[in-house]
Structure 1
């Protein structure tokens, strides 16, 4: 009698193990079919980026991967971080227009290195200050004062801007640089300073310079509205700065 019970117990165990194996095989088969039918993710853009940026730091590469995942619908597109948090590893370098990022409390002071009325020839201290912050991303927002200073000499402007970029690359070789286009001005500003009428020509050459140097160029023309300008037709009101920051963050994948 005892032997019969043991045989039944052994038989029950074998049947249980067999069922478990069958279920496992079915689950693996279903997963395999799912993988076969899932739309493949195109990683060519990410691979090209990594190959082209061999010196990129891990965080920047991770940011690019996250951007690609969002494009393919495989990542979480929601981002609850504040703008200050998103710019925690970045620095905006510029003149009075950029300085308002901290004036209007859009970015932390540790993310902005800017000075009113500054020219390309006066940037050594700013570059050193930015270097001490050790940014992974550097946004440049210069040019308005030097458009006036060069008074139509676009080649001189480009040469001076190029020299600035070389200094930044030497001081911060691992930082990725993005150049903001010189903002257009309103007609009232052009009437007071005719040299500002040539900003479009300056930006055309500036974009070509960035392409040649293989660095990012940010055309902000799509976010400009008359309502954002201050009375001088050059500077911007507080409500413009979150929009501008968002544009830079999207381009650099912050």
Structure 2
């Protein structure tokens, strides 16, 4: 009598399941009965149940499980998405430094909410834009203008930042917030504007605030080299923005 291929495969799976169950029963007996010569006989009913389940195993279910394992393994492959795709449900919100993401076409305009010269106390309009977008993640980038506005008083800066965070959390409780550190400026710029000497102090206060509020702090201090600066010693050239974007994406596991 001719046996069909499907039937052979099914029997192979059943035999494999029985073999697995036998091994499992042996393991149970060893675990339970190493000192068990003096104990009562091990209960193998659980192993018998496994054999029964193997005999009635659905081939399709097994194939589905294999497919899931293969899909999981493929996740380790290199990410080929563009930065615009990666930041599809993310917003970078900040001042003129953040504006470069849109200006240099690194991210979609819907992923950038920025305004030249804006300070932390002037963000009502930007917050409303953020609410309309309703992103899963928002990166906040404020500091250079605020150092000048608060005249080196990092405590005042932190209070203003906290007020912004509270406002966003109230309106968008499901949006995850990340705080970018304040970027350093070139030395000659510090000589022209001594208040920028306080950048490191402001970043320390910013980090402490994030720790207290349990918000992620993205330290970009070592990310910038002289070649990335524009002529003003403060803003950045186009080739810096993909570097910064990848840093944020990696940090937030986008």
TM-score by length of 2: 0.74
Q: What is the Cα deviation at residue 149 of structure 1?
A: 1.5
Structure-1 residue corresponding to 2:127: 127
Q: 1:154 to 1:20 in 2, by over 3 A?
A: closer
How far apart, in 2, do the equivalents of 1:25 and 1:222 lie?
59
CA shift digits 1:140-198 (9 cap, x unpaired): 01111001111221111111111111111112111000000000111011011100011
How far apart in 2 are the matches of 1:85 and 1:119?
29
Which ranges in structure 1 are unaligned for 5 or more consecutive residues?
A: 1-8, 34-71
Cα distance in 1 for partners of 2:136, 2:214 equals: 17
Deviations 1:43-93 (A, max 9, x none): xxxxxxxxxxxxxxxxxxxxxxxxxxxxx9773231111100111101110
Structure 1 equivalent of residue 97 of structure 2: 97
Partner of 2:13: 24
* Cα distance, 1:28 vs structure 2: 3.8
Instruction: Output aligned runs, 1:1-254, within 5 Å.
Output: 9=1, 23-25=12-14, 27-28=16-17, 75-254=75-254
Match of 1:59 in 2: none
Match of 2:67 in 1: none
Using the alignment, how far apart are the partners of 1:73 and 1:224 within structure 2? 35
1:127 alignment partner, SS class: helix
Q: Say which one has the larger Rg.
A: 2
Aligned to 1:67: none
- Distance in 2 between the 1:210 and 1:229 partners? 27
* 2:222 match: secondary structure: helix
List gaps (5 residues or longer) in structure 2.
Answer: 24-71
Distance 1:151 1:83 in 2: 36
TM-score, with structure 1 as normaliser: 0.74
Supply the distance in 1 between the matched residues of 2:152 and 2:123 (Cα, whole angstroms): 22
CA contact under 8 A between 1:188 and 1:232: conserved in structure 2?
no
Per-residue deviation, 1:30: 8.2
RMSD over aligned CA atoms reads 2.6
SS in 2 for 1:161: helix
Tell whether the 8 Å contact from 1:136 to 1:174 is kept in structure 2 after alignment.
yes
Tell me the residue number matched to 1:55: none
